[in-house]
């Protein structure tokens, strides 16, 4: 059986790499990308959400709540369009959020048959608490790095993400790849044919959408 010493650069003989510089680079990119994404999801999402509330919310349900906290004017169909899931699936999650007192339903003033979804005060406080916890966890870490390094790091993340997305055969459609960290002029949204949230938000506001 192969052994691996974490204090050396040696790897098990059956690690699947060819030993060429290109293969080693690909292996390292994929390995650290998986580690980074797992750390973000486990520490900056799952654990922080558990600290922010005792309610048994999933990350997906929290993302829906966070999306609604941006303007609170969405209908079920609009959220479904943005997330790329069925209206019944959204309704099931919204029902759970409503049972927890995090979401309220109100009739639309323009169409009494349409129901608008918005976070309750409790829901908004939860989002705010989560953001405060996240900032408290991240700022001491980010302060250890020069601003130029952080800008270079985020720039590389963006370029690699966009390059990967350009290879998809269906560039248009739902996104949610930013987990509700909406940014105007997002290059990921551009390569996907426009940010779905921006299209929905403009439609809700009554602005013509191409």
Q: Does position 197 have pLDDT exceeding 50, yes or no?
A: yes
pLDDT number for residue 4:
42
| Buried/exposed code over 89-103 (b: 16+ C-beta within 10 A; e: otherwise) | ebeebbebbeebebb
**Tens of pLDDT, residues 146-176:** 999 999 999 998 888 888 877 765 545 556 5
pLDDT number for residue 69:
85
Average pLDDT taken over every residue of the chain: 78
pLDDT number for residue 124:
94
State the pLDDT confidence band at 137, using cuts at 50, 70 and 90: very high
Q: Tell which wins on pLDDT, 51 or 195.
A: 51
Concatenated DSSP letters of the chain: -----TTSS---TTSS--SSHHHHHHHHHHHHHHHHHHHHHIIIIIIHHHHH-SS---HHHHHHHHHHHHH--B-HHHHHHHHTS-HHHHHHHHHHHHHTTSEEEEE-SS-TTSEEEEE-HHHHHHHHHHHHHHHHHHHHHHTTS-HHHHHHHHHHHHHHHHHHHHT-S--SS---TTTT---TT-HHHHHTTS-HHHHHHHHHTT----
Tokens of 59: 């990350």
**Tens of pLDDT, residues 15-47:** 555 578 888 988 988 898 889 889 888 988 899
Q: Tell which wins on pLDDT, 91 or 192.
A: 91
The predicted model gives 120-133 an average pLDDT of 95
**Tens of pLDDT, residues 47-70:** 999 999 999 999 889 988 988 887
Q: Does position 121 have pLDDT exceeding 70, yes or no?
A: yes
pTM as predicted: 0.71
pLDDT number for residue 90:
85
pLDDT number for residue 169:
59
Range in 1-5, 59-63, 139-143 with the lowest mean pLDDT: 1-5
Task: Give the separation between CA 11 and CA 187, rounded to whole angstroms.
Answer: 37
């Amino acid at each position: 059986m192969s052994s691996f010493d974490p204090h050396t650069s040696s790897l098990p003989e059956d690690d699947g790499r060819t030993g060429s510089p290109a293969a080693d680079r690909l292996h390292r990119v994929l390995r650290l990308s998986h580690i980074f994404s797992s750390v973000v999801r486990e520490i900056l999402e799952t654990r922080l959400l558990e600290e922010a509330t005792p309610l048994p919310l999933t990350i997906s349900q929290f993302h829906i709540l966070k999306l609604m906290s941006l303007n609170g004017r969405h209908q079920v169909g609009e959220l479904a369009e943005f997330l790329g899931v069925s209206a019944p699936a959204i309704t099931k999650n919204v029902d759970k959020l409503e049972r927890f007192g995090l979401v309220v339903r109100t009739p639309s003033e323009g169409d009494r048959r349409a129901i608008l979804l918005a976070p309750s005060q409790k829901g908004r406080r939860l989002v705010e608490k989560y953001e405060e916890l996240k900032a408290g966890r991240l700022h001491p870490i980010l302060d250890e790095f020069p601003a130029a390094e952080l800008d270079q790091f985020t720039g590389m993340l963006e370029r690699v993400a966009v390059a990967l997305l350009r290879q998809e055969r269906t560039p248009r459609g739902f996104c949610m790849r930013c987990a509700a960290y909406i940014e105007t002029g997002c290059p990921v949204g551009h390569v996907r044919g426009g940010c779905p949230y921006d299209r929905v938000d403009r439609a809700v506001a009554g602005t013509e959408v191409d």
